[in-house]
Structure 1
Amino acid sequence: MSNITVCSHPIIQQKISSLRSTSNTARDVRELVDSITRLMLHTVTADLELTPTAQEQTSPVAAYTGLEISTKLALIPILRSGLAMLNAASDLLHTAEIRHLGLFREETTLQPVEYYNKLPRTCSVDQCLVLDPMIATGGTAEAAIQILQHWGVKRIKFVAICVSRRGIDVLAAKYPDVEFFVGVIDEVLDRRGFVSPGIGDCGDRLNNTA
């Protein structure tokens, strides 16, 4: 679908392959998620708008007109595993707002449960970058999208490292105005709602609580 972009750079793919491995420590997982996010964001942010800075800048050789990103952004990490992607995003986009959403998937029903939402009443940004390492059934992602649409943001980009074919196809069809940037699409989603081969329970792996 036209609103799904797979970030297929060889370095990203090699790092995702490493991320899958059960031999990783929690520190390894955090470092891999961070580096994959940084690499993916080059594609995610390729169309941000630039404007000249108000004041002329000076290089060691001559004066020049500086540039700054004018798109007003909000970074939306989905708690808890989305936090592992936040440092990479905020380092690259240091003027962006950071707004957290707390959502988890109930283990029996596989339905999303919202437990934290501190979005201000009025939306003041042009674009939201939602950060979540995994999309499995798509329920949590859909809940986040609906919350942000209700908030009034005009453009949503969803950034996920590993997704299921079924989950991403359903989301992309249902929300054609949302742009999905993913690292890899895995074909299998099992009865428990796990992506296969996937990257496991990313929250547990990141926090050493598996």
Structure 2
Amino acid sequence: MVTVVTHPLVQHKLSHMRDVHTGVKEFRELAAELSLLLAYEAMRDLELEPHRLSTPLESGEFPMLTGKKLALVAILRAGLIMTDSIVQLVPAAKVGHIGLYRDPQTLQPVAYYNKLPTDIAERRVFLTDPMLATGGSASAAIQSLKDAGAASIKLMSILAAPEGVAVIERDHPDVDIVVAAVDSHLNDHGYIVPGLGDAGDRIYGTK
């Protein structure tokens, strides 16, 4: 299932990220802020159970998180900006990294790094990658997580293309996707149109 977060703050910040005149510092800040807003939606179904505690006035039962512990896994390198931001919301979450890059000729993912929490199978996993373009890297990362034993996975991206969404739905129909927008299409170079350019380059100021 794909959830598009249409909240006005999300759409406003995304529009600023799209703007070619938005500089590195502001783009990075917007990406971090958007990640927090997307996480708010992506984590809406976390389990709660009542815990007894005392306020300054009286004792009572109040809801607190329960169920599986969490893991944030970034697809390097651009996914780092998202996990680094979201961990502020869930500081007890463990963080993993999957290194993939897209071959510019074949557009297929090439793996170069994989470091996951040893108890990943016992955690709800939130996989982060700002751009869900062809879907190849995200699909490969999800498969790596499944091979490591992860059973509960949700993909969070700032922007997606219909082609990338279709790949995840085909390869991993059990994985939900949370995005700020699904754009028109991919161009011949595998970039999302109208998109916002290369998220990694704009986050880190590289070309």
- Name the TM-score class by shorter chain: over 0.9
2:42 counterpart (41, 44, 56) = 44
Residue type of the partner of 2:133? A
More off after superposition, 135-144 vs 167-176? 167-176
TM-score, with length taken from structure 2:
0.94
More off after superposition, 60-69 vs 6-15? 60-69
Residue type of the partner of 1:76? V
Using the aligned pairs only, state the percent identity: 38
- 1:168 deviates by 0.7
More off after superposition, 166-175 vs 62-71? 62-71
User: How many residues are matched?
Assistant: 206
Residue type of the partner of 2:182? I
For residue 71 of structure 2, what is the aligned residue in structure 1? 74
More off after superposition, 133-142 vs 66-75? 66-75
Residue type of the partner of 1:148? L
SS at structure 1 position matched to 2:200: helix
CA distance in 2, matches of 1:123, 1:40: 22
SS at structure 2 position matched to 1:88: helix
1:185-208 deviation digits (Å, cap 9, x = unpaired): 011201101111111111111011
CA distance in 1, matches of 2:176, 2:79: 17
Contact 2:77-2:200 within 8 A present in 1 as well: yes
TM-score, with length taken from structure 1:
0.92
For residue 92 of structure 1, what is the aligned residue in structure 2? 89
Q: Answer yes or no: is 1:144 the counterpart of 2:141.
A: yes
- 1:120 deviates by 4.9
1:4-83 superposed matches below 5 A:
4-53=2-51, 56-70=52-66, 71-83=68-80
CA distance in 2, matches of 1:166, 1:103: 19
Q: Answer yes or no: is 1:123 the counterpart of 2:94.
A: no
Structure 1 segments, 4+ long, off by >6 Å, are: none
2:190 counterpart (180, 193, 198) = 193
1:38-80 deviation digits (Å, cap 9, x = unpaired): 1111110011012344xx4222221233443223111001111
SS at structure 2 position matched to 1:23: coil
Task: Calculate the aligned-residue CA RMSD, in Å.
Answer: 1.5
More off after superposition, 64-73 vs 81-90? 64-73
- 1:124 deviates by 4.0
Contact 1:74-1:125 within 8 A present in 2 as well: no
CA distance in 2, matches of 1:69, 1:122: 19
SS at structure 1 position matched to 2:190: coil
Contact 1:74-1:96 within 8 A present in 2 as well: yes
SS at structure 2 position matched to 1:5: strand
Contact 1:166-1:187 within 8 A present in 2 as well: no
Contact 2:121-2:151 within 8 A present in 1 as well: no
For residue 176 of structure 2, what is the aligned residue in structure 1? 179
CA distance in 2, matches of 1:173, 1:182: 18
CA distance in 2, matches of 1:132, 1:94: 19
